Structure 1
Amino acid sequence: MKNFMHALLPSALATFPPTLPGVEGAVVDMAQRQAAPPPVMVSGTVQTPIVLASPHSGRFYPERFVQASRQPLAVLRSGEDSYIDLLAQPANALGPTLVQATFPRVFCDPNRAAWDLDTRMFHGTIPSFVRPTERGLAGLGSIPRMTGNQRPIYRARLPFSEAALRIRNYWMPYHTTLADLLDQTRRRYGLCLLLDLHSMPDMPDNETADFVLGDRHGAACANTFVETAERIVQGLGYSTARNTPYAGGYITQHYGRPHDGRTPQHALQIEIRRSLYMDEATHAPHAGFGRLADAIARLVEALLDDFSAHRR
């Protein structure tokens, strides 16, 4: 796993702080770090070819971050995939490992490349390894500038050292843990399937499917697994769509390698409509929660049956 870390961490940042050029005075708030939960939690061990992940359901908002924001906590939570980790627990009980971030995406988003950052939100020298994409420049990079409902987060520009520390202390541990579990799974079973679980808001201008299955238009996951997911979900009375409007983010793109002939690694992003299980305004779960949790478990059970049939 050391090689994975070095592939993502530029040499200038490997010992940060204080050797990053142009960054001075970076200090970790140890009191906050001690009060916080670990940045990533894992439930279960490798017992099946499936790994479940919830990168956006984190609910620990550091007090210093909330105080620095121009938005109240209710607005900061607008992009949170609330309770997806809890919805996945019955599926986790069937054997797949569950990986979850405890930090919120508005603080650090592991579904973006590490250095996909809007440079305009920082002051001081910006390292040359920062490579913003179009989404990053729109304020939706690994350290977001905008909330999920398009409101600016910060009152003032941040020192780049703050972004570097969040990448090191939150983004890196999440991806190190996930990559390690996927490697373990492939070594044990010869292949693996990552189910990257998310939630999505209702879209007022058009009808929102209950589930959106994102496989990067076939580049991240074998069609047979997507077809199984569609069949099970539709059979339970939910509507589905493929890749529209969500084809899969950085995690699906980065980890989906279905055409690796030796040990294929499949990644399928599953977006679930939030109003199926909670009140979007209050984030309170409602009566649909249990039915949806059961549906996710039945989906995972069907995929495990697919693996069993393939190995016979």
Structure 2
Amino acid sequence: MTDAAQPSASAPSFELVAGDPDSPVLLHVPHASRIVPPDVRAGIVLGDAELERELDHITDGHTDVVAAVAATSAATTPWRFVNRLSRLVVDPERFPDDREEMVAVGMGAVYTRTTHRAELRPAGFDPAPLVERYFDPYAEAMTRAVDERLAATGRAVVVDVHSYPTAALPYELHGDGPRPPVCLGTDSFHTPPALLAAARRALAGFGGVGTDSPFAGAYVPLAHYGRDGRVSALMVEIRRDLYMTEPGGPAGPGARALGVALAALVDAVTDAAGD
């Protein structure tokens, strides 16, 4: 049985993996899991085979492995916040309201459409219970994790670890832009030039580093978003052909190489004075 068909009933929704007390870095891994709890699965209209295929496309496979390698390879161990459930349960990186542009394709905080714009949940589905049960506690825990880094070090650096397919999928709103091996998503308020430059240096060895295409932005908890300049953020989007078989296949040696490169970014950020 797959994780989608038979998740552990006791599996936590998310996990904060402790790092060094002096590390300001929080590696955020929101989309690596394929686990869909049975009660959530009951609200999805796809058959089992269709759901498996959707999970192949929508999951940022093995990005938790990349982040784990980065954590063990860094000189100062970063903290990791890892979503243990699929983004088909809730997507913790969406805005929980109409500010979210992905609502246009049925992919707000709770998805109603698939990557190929087919029906995922029936018309009239009420997302509120899933938001209350999963989205809100996740957001609150991430806020606490950032607050703890601020209290301990005076700053917090959230590095999102994502991946994206080599070929654009129909749900992508900006899929006609460049698809470099590594895409760095930025925020005008929370991504300082020094952080972006450090990421470019650390990830330069994979054939090209682009910015904000095909995906843009960086995750910051709403309590800090646009308000607290001590919180910096960057999204690292890895094109999947660099490290895994698409769609939904096993990881290759590129996963470790990317983790080591990400560790170099973690070290550079940790050693920096912060802007």
With normalisation by structure 2, the TM-score equals: 0.82
Displacement of 1:63 in angstroms is: 2.9
Answer yes or no: is 1:246 the counterpart of 2:215.
yes
| Partner amino acid, structure 2, of 1:82 | G
1:107 offset after TM fit, Å? Answer: 2.0
Q: Secondary structure at the match of 2:80?
A: strand
Q: Shift of residue 73 of structure 1?
A: 2.4
Q: Once the 2 structures are TM-superposed, how far is the Cα of residue 287 of structure 1 from its aligned partner?
A: 2.8
How far off is 1:174 after superposition? 1.4
Q: Does 1:290 align with 2:231?
A: no
Please give the alpha-carbon distance, in whole angstroms, between the structure 1 residues aligned to 2:60 and 2:124: 25
After superposition, the Cα gap between the structure-2 partners of 1:290 and 1:283, relative to the gap in structure 1 and judged at 3 Å, is: same
Alpha-carbon contact 1:56-1:101 (below 8 Å) kept: yes
Q: What do the CA deviations read for 1:136-180 (whole angstroms, capped 9, x no partner)?
A: 1320100111123333213x33542xx222112211121111110
* Structure 1 position 39 matched with structure 2 position 16: no
Shift of the 277–237 alpha-carbon distance from structure 1 to 2, 3 Å rule, reads closer
- What is the root-mean-square deviation of aligned Cα atoms in Å? 2.6
Query: What does residue 89 of structure 2 align with?
Result: 107
Q: Is the 8 A contact 2:14 2:84 kept in 1?
A: yes
SS of aligned partner of 2:120: coil
Identify the residue that residue 52 of structure 2 maps to in structure 1.
74
Letter in 2 for 1:276: L
State the one-letter code of the partner of 1:50: V
Q: Any runs of at least 4 consecutive aligned residues in structure 1 with deviations exceeding 6 A, and if so which?
A: none
Q: 1:273 to 1:34 in 2, by over 3 A?
A: closer
- After alignment, is 205-214 or 283-292 more displaced? 205-214
More helix by share: 1
Q: 8 Å contact 2:186–2:212 — kept in the other structure?
A: yes
Q: CA deviation at 1:228?
A: 0.8
- Whole-Å Cα distance in 2 between the matches of residues 132 and 266 of structure 1? 21
Task: List per-residue Cα deviations over 1:109-162 (Å, max 9, x = no partner).
Answer: 111122x3xxxxxxxxxxxxxx364421320100111123333213x33542xx
Structure 1 CA distance, aligned partners of 2:227 and 2:38? 44
The aligned residue for residue 181 of structure 1 is 145
Q: Provide TM-score, normalisation by structure 1.
A: 0.73
Q: Distance in 2 between the 1:65 and 1:281 partners?
A: 23
Q: Note the C-alpha offset of 1:299.
A: 2.0
Listed one character per residue, the Cα deviations across residues 165-198 of structure 1 (whole Å, up to 9, x for unaligned) are 2112211121111110111111121111110111
- Asked if 1:55 corresponds to 2:30, the answer is yes
CA gap 1:259/1:174 in 2 versus in 1, 3 angstroms = closer
Query: Contact 2:7 / 2:35 at 8 angstroms: preserved in 1?
Result: no
Whole-Å separation in 2 of the counterparts to 1:105 and 1:203 = 20
Q: Tell me, yes or no, if the aligned pair for 1:214 and 1:243 is still in contact at 8 Å.
A: yes
Q: Contact 1:191/1:265 (CA < 8 Å) preserved in 2?
A: yes
Unaligned stretches of 5+ in structure 2? 1-5, 169-175
Pair 34,212 (structure 1): closer, same or farther in 2 beyond 3 Å: closer
3-state SS, counterpart of residue 234 of structure 2: strand
Q: Which protein has greater RCO, CA pairs closer than 8 Å, 6+ apart?
A: 2
Q: For 1:148, which of 106, 109, 115 is the aligned residue?
A: 115
Query: Is the CA contact (8 Å cut-off) linking 1:256 and 1:266 kept in structure 2?
Result: no
Q: Which SS does the other structure have where 1:303 is aligned?
A: helix
1:245 & 1:255 partners in 2: Cα distance? Answer: 27
Q: Aligned residues: percent identity?
A: 24
Q: Which consecutive residues of structure 1, in runs of 5 or more, have no partner in the other structure?
A: 1-31, 117-130
Q: Residue 214 of structure 1 is aligned with which of 173, 185, 192? A: 185
State how many pairs are aligned: 255
**What letter corresponds to residue 230 of structure 1 in structure 2?**
R
1:270 to 236, 241, 260: 236
